[in-house]
Structure formats: structure tokens, C-alpha cells
Amino acid sequence: MLKVTNLTKKYGKMLAVKNVSFFVETGEIAVLAGPNGAGKSTVIKSIVGLLRYQGSITVNDKINKSIEGKSYIGYIPEIPSLFPLLTVSEHITLMAHAFGIKDYETEAEELLKAFDLWDKKDKFGSELSKGMQQKVSICCAIITKPKILLVDEPMVGLDPKAIRTMKNLLLKLKEQGTSIVVSTHLLDSVQDLWDRIIIMKDGEFVYSNTKHEIGKEDKSLEDIFFEYTEE
């Protein structure tokens, strides 16, 4: 379970995130939505531990920046950043070793094959297209068996087969009990995945609810988004 409590982030004097609180249950896929500049990336980077902030963030009851907390978190950034001189296989091995994952080879092979990367496994990071780099970045996060997975704009730049593979992976992780936060503008792309929506605007928390609750009113993600973000 992911719990964000009174998160506030300033960049210099600019207040980017204001006292935001929300939670994501175990085995839930939450969509973090909001207009440009709402503070979504800032929230995600705070959870991942890349920023200084005020407030409290816990993952399965551990502080996100503790060693145990960090070991629970997987992150797929919007822009992949691979090591130019490591091969695809070496990226996966590095992540598995860093997170103490044993016997990862079979899963690594399955992941690379699912993303059509198996024949590219000995290519260097610098030799990959943008889409391929993104797929490697996804494999790197999944191989660590995260209990909390943060995904920033997951579908942008992926081909249709990779989008389907990505969606299936998210559903599999959810079944295994991972709490997943997906930040995206492409609400259609996650219409068949989400369990909870969290809406931010102008750095503030606006709304959160589960599909189960909202479903009674038969609304799409887009309907809910506009309802809570338009004046």
C-alpha cells in the first residue's frame, strides 16, 4: 500500500505541490490525472525518492527513502535513461543484482521476448531506438518485483504490441498485489485498467475515488476528469 500524507514541494519559492494526501491500496491500479503543471511528475518523483519535500510517504508501512522502502519501489520514467555502454541484458542483470533478485533469468527472457527485444539483448543502450529504450526501462522496473510501481506516461512512444504487453504486465502485477500509480494524459489508454482515479490541479489534490464507487454512475475517466478540472 502507498500512502502520501501532506506532501508539499517547493522549487525555490514556487509551490508546486500543496499539502497533497492520497493512498493506493495493495493490488490497485490508480490513475494520477491532472492538467499540465498540476504537479503529477513532482508527486511521482517525490514517491520515488528523487526530490526533497515536506510530508510523509510510506510504502507498505516503510518510509519511501528507507532502504527497505526503496527496495519496494519500481519506477518507469517518462523519458528512459539507459547506460549507453551497457547492453540490454546487462541492464536487466544490474537491476536484478541491485535489488537482490535471484533466479531472474527465465523471467528476463520472457520479458525481453514479450517486448521483441530478445534479438537485441546484446545491443548497447546507445544503439537502441527511443521505443526500444522505453521497453528496456519497463523490463528493468518489472524485474525488481516492485510492491509499488510508479509509471509516468507509460504508453507514449510504444508500438501497439508493446502497449498491449505493458497493459498485460500491469494487470499481472496488480494480481500479485502491487500498488500501481499511472500518470497519464491519455485517459482512453487506461480506461480498461484503472481501479482508482486521483485528480490534481494547480498543485492541489482535487478528488480520489474507486471505479467500484463511481461505476454506479457509469462515467468514463474522461467524464470524471472534466467534471473535476473544468471551472
Chain residues binding ligand ADP by CB under 6 A are: 11, 14, 16, 34, 36-42
Q: Dihedral (C-alpha) 147, 53, 83, 70: value to the nearest 10 degrees?
A: -30
CB 200 → ligand ADP: shortest distance, Å? 7
Separation of alpha carbons 116 and 174, rounded Å: 23
Closest to ligand ADP by CB, 25 or 78: 78
CB 143 → ligand ADP: shortest distance, Å? 26
SS3 200: strand
CB 107 → ligand ADP: shortest distance, Å? 31
CB 6 → ligand ADP: shortest distance, Å? 17
Separation of alpha carbons 74 and 94, rounded Å: 14
CB 230 → ligand ADP: shortest distance, Å? 16
Closest to ligand ADP by CB, 123 or 201: 201
Closest to ligand ADP by CB, 28 or 153: 153
Q: With beta carbons less than 8 A apart as the criterion, state whether 111 and 135 touch.
A: no
Closest to ligand ADP by CB, 143 or 153: 153
Q: With beta carbons less than 8 A apart as the criterion, state whether 139 and 115 touch.
A: yes
Q: Dihedral (C-alpha) 33, 140, 146, 107: value to the nearest 10 degrees?
A: 130
Nearest to 18 by CA among 45, 39, 49: 39
Closest to ligand ADP by CB, 89 or 189: 189
